[in-house]
Structure 1
Amino acid sequence: MFDADRMPPAGPTDPAMDPQSSVARLCAIYDPLLTDPEFALSPRAEQELKGLAAIFDLDSARRACEVWTDLRPVLTRHSPARREQPTAEHDGSLSLTLMVVEDDPEMAADLTDVLTEAGHRIIGPFHSAEAAEVSAALHPVDLALLDVNLSGRQSGVALARTLKDRWGVASLFLSGDVTATARAADQAEAILIKPFSGREVLDAVARVWRGIEVRR
């Protein structure tokens, strides 16, 4: 369950909230690890990487290259609204057919209410990937909002892959499992990490859809 008007608190000592810790700066520091796992980081850079890993609940005891491989997709795809004030990108004129797949009943109900009130048509909500997959064959869908970890046999990641391959439907991941989401970030257009507000969801949908439209 989420509060449509609540923003996540920002801790004053949280390095991910530091305006100087932009994604571009972090990529400049740590991207050499992607091509050279033995790349030597400064003590300060190593400390910051461990701090970022802790914030996103990633195992910081691993090699720096492994930590950055998991952390980078989260930072580059994670909604910027979690570090800034809401941008209100959804102006009420956008109306999409959205599939919601979320196995938490309260969260599913909240998502459905927020999206419906904003003018979107909802397919679902579904608690399992199997039910959502059947429905996708019957209903045109503009965008899918998927929880990564579902209670059925298939995960949200597998469903995202199926939706894309079979029907060309893009996905927005909604998850509290940062590690699993980071490893599957290439399957989604964007990521929202729980907890999030209703405004963050609407803004993320608007941003993702705008990006899809630009590519067409």
Structure 2
Amino acid sequence: MTMRIMVVEDDALIALDICGLLEDLGHEVIAEAADAGAAWDLAEDDKPDLALVDIRLAKNTDGGKLAQKLYDQLGVRSLFVSGSITDEFRKAMAAINPIGFLGKPVTRRTLGDALAAVH
């Protein structure tokens, strides 16, 4: 199943890598953003099927808060991709039904497995 995915990642090289993996897996990257404000504007303009979200974003913005807003207002679920995922963060995000949590670096296999679980 091809999904329309927004990538929210403040490291340009990691974002490029993730976009490449998503396209290799047959998905469409419809938007990229480095901070929560830009990501929200893009999601409002063209709602993605899901968002890949880093926790710590540019401009000191918070990926968790962004994911909460995407879910509450647009019904968009998030897959968190971050090097700083804690048990506390997992618990805090449980209410928004995240697709999952992936540590960095993400690989084609871990990303593919996480996305395959989405229905």
Residue range with higher mean Cα deviation, 152-161 or 95-104: 152-161
Residue in structure 2 matching 1:205, options 111, 115, 118: 115
Aligned residues: 116
Asked if structure 2 preserves the Cα contact closer than 8 Å seen for 1:128 and 1:150, the reply is yes
1:196 maps to 2:106: yes
Percent identity, aligned pairs only, is: 37
Task: Identify, as 1 or 2, the structure richer in strand.
Answer: 2
Aligned to 2:4: 97
Matched residue SS, 1:137 = helix
Q: Which is higher, the Rg of structure 1 or of structure 2?
A: 1
Aligned to 1:182: 90
In structure 1, distance between residues paired with 2:31 and 2:47: 13
Question: Can you give the 5+ residue segments of structure 1 that lack an aligned partner in the other structure?
Answer: 1-93, 211-216
Where in structure 1 do 4 or more consecutive aligned residues deviate above 2 Å? Answer: 178-185
Residue in structure 2 matching 1:118, options 10, 25, 44: 25
Aligned to 2:78: 171
Shift of 1:183: 4.8
Question: Can you give the 5+ residue segments of structure 2 that lack an aligned partner in the other structure?
Answer: none
How large is the Cα RMSD of the aligned pairs? 1.6
TM-score relative to the length of structure 1? 0.50
TM-score relative to the length of structure 2? 0.88
1:151 maps to 2:61: no
Asked if structure 1 preserves the Cα contact closer than 8 Å seen for 2:99 and 2:114, the reply is no
